[in-house]
Amino acid sequence: MANLKEVKGRIQSVVSTQQITKAMKMVAAAKLRRAQDRIIQMRPYSQKLSEIIQNVSAGETDGADNPFAEERTIERVLLVVVSSDRGLCGAFNSSIFKATKALIAEQYSHVESSGNLVILPIGKKAFEHFAKRKYNVISEYSQLMEKLNFADAKEAAEMVMAEFVGGEYDRVDIIYNEFKNVATQIVRKEQFLPIKELELDEVADTNVDYIYEPSKDFIFEELIPKSLKIQFYKTLLESNASEHGARMTAMDKATENADDLLKELRLTYNRTRQAAITKEILEIVGGAEALAKG
């Protein structure tokens, strides 16, 4: 059995750790509220704009007019992997890494074997993970989540779009965590480029006849790139809110675990202390008896 000094030291250590986890939970909760407000405000606009773009693209008889909808043989692939900059957020990052590797194994193993699969990590954890495992990694935007804003996200999206139009990549997918609630984050694997067109029955259901103003060319040159940039930014906002939700949940669990551990340690401390007192009493009684006999 551990002595009193060791048990007391462990209790103090757990109390200090619990204070840290409580503070981190409060910080995560404050950041989550701001991140949640941003994504809730962005979703309706992003979804409606995406719907319009898909309908316009599906209504075209020839996808060549829209360079962002050009379907090609998949020989070069870019995967945009969105993670966090810091840990202590449960399975938030590991889920993304597993999903990315599963996607590569299921769909892009031939691309990886030919050396034409490239990963664009957004978040330090993704960069460290894939760079350490010798993947082809673009490090330029790995710190984008540190101070997330539309200007930086727009720059990254423009780079990805330009590379696709220039033929550097035939397919661009994004892997990220979608925010559902504080306790739930859903891993999403979405095709970013080329733009996915609606199926024929979906087009019939929408039954929208668009009038282009000022022109169809203007729509493709202005509205579609803008929509893609907003979709890209939305995925980063989703991941940002998910990160804070995951960290808040993880720190809440850690605080609860610290409570359980403290109960056990205090029980052990009391038992050890009681045993030490009993031992001292027995020694005193034994000494008194020895003196009486003497």
Q: Residues 14, 53, 81, 89: which is the catalytic one?
A: 89
Nearest CA to 78 among 110, 112, 106, 118? Answer: 118
What dihedral do alpha carbons 59, 188, 114, 133 form, nearest 10°?
160
**Vertex 13: Cα angle to 12 and 15 (nearest 5):** 65
SS3 175: strand
SS3 186: strand
SS3 227: helix
Rounded CA gap, 169 and 158, in Å?
Answer: 14
Q: Is position 89 annotated as part of the catalytic site?
A: yes
Q: Residue 213: exposed, middle, or buried by beta-carbon count in 10 A (0-12, 13-18, 19+)?
A: exposed
Rounded CA gap, 224 and 221, in Å?
Answer: 7
β-strand partners of 284: none
Rounded CA gap, 77 and 72, in Å?
Answer: 11
Q: How far is CA 212 from the centre of its chain?
A: 38
Q: Which residues are catalytic?
A: 89
